[in-house]
């Protein structure tokens, strides 16, 4: 038995069709959580969910596509999750975007707004969706994945 048992817990991981998000989702499922695989493309989500279900049993993962830039899609993500799996116990805000890489004096307003919307505002929306039920239960976890760039200066 693992000291990190998540049996009976429901987790949403945004940006979980590849990379860090996928690894987090796989790790949560390995510890017994039922995970929602979410990114913009349903087919990519379904492929990852199928692999997790094959490794950890049917019902270990479900695929629900949602774009973090669309509040209505995030609301639907939560509504579908609750309807299919129950209340969310773990929220991992992993999805983000960076339409610009370079010095701050070269970024266009539209690019900067996209970064704020996708990397800050979307997390705010997700937290607003998750927190009330977690508060009512007196249990839950919210994890926000971020760049080391927030802590350490970069020459670019």
- Nearest 5°: phi and psi at 113? -60, -40
Least confident interval from 52-56, 84-88, 97-101: 97-101
Q: What integer pLDDT is reported at residue 144 of this predicted model?
A: 96
Distance CA 65, CA 30 (A): 22
Domains and CATH numbers, the chain: 10-150 (3.40.50.720)
pLDDT per residue over 106-125, tens digit each? 999 999 999 999 999 999 99
Confidence at 132, pLDDT banded by 50, 70, 90? very high
The answer to whether residue 52 scores a pLDDT higher than 90 is yes
- Pairing between strand 34-38 and 90-93? unpaired
Mean pLDDT, residues 34-54 taken together: 98
**Percent of the chain residues past pLDDT 70, beyond the cut:** 96
């Amino acid at each position: 038995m693992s000291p990190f048992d998540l049996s009976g817990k429901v987790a949403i991981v945004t940006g979980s069709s590849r990379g860090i998000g996928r690894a987090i989702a796989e790790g949560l499922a390995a510890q017994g959580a039922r995970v929602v695989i979410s990114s913009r493309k349903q087919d990519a989500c379904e492929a990852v969910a199928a692999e997790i279900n094959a490794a950890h049993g049917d019902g270990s993962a479900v695929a629900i596509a949602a774009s973090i830039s669309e509040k209505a899609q995030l609301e639907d993500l939560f509504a579908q999750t609750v309807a299919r799996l129950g209340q969310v116990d773990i929220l991992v805000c992993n999805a983000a975007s960076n339409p610009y890489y370079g010095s701050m004096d070269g970024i266009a307003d539209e690019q900067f707004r996209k970064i704020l919307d996708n990397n800050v505002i979307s997390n705010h929306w997700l937290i607003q969706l998750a927190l009330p039920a977690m508060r009512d239960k007196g249990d839950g976890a919210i994890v926000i994945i971020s760049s080391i760039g927030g802590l350490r200066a970069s020459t670019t």
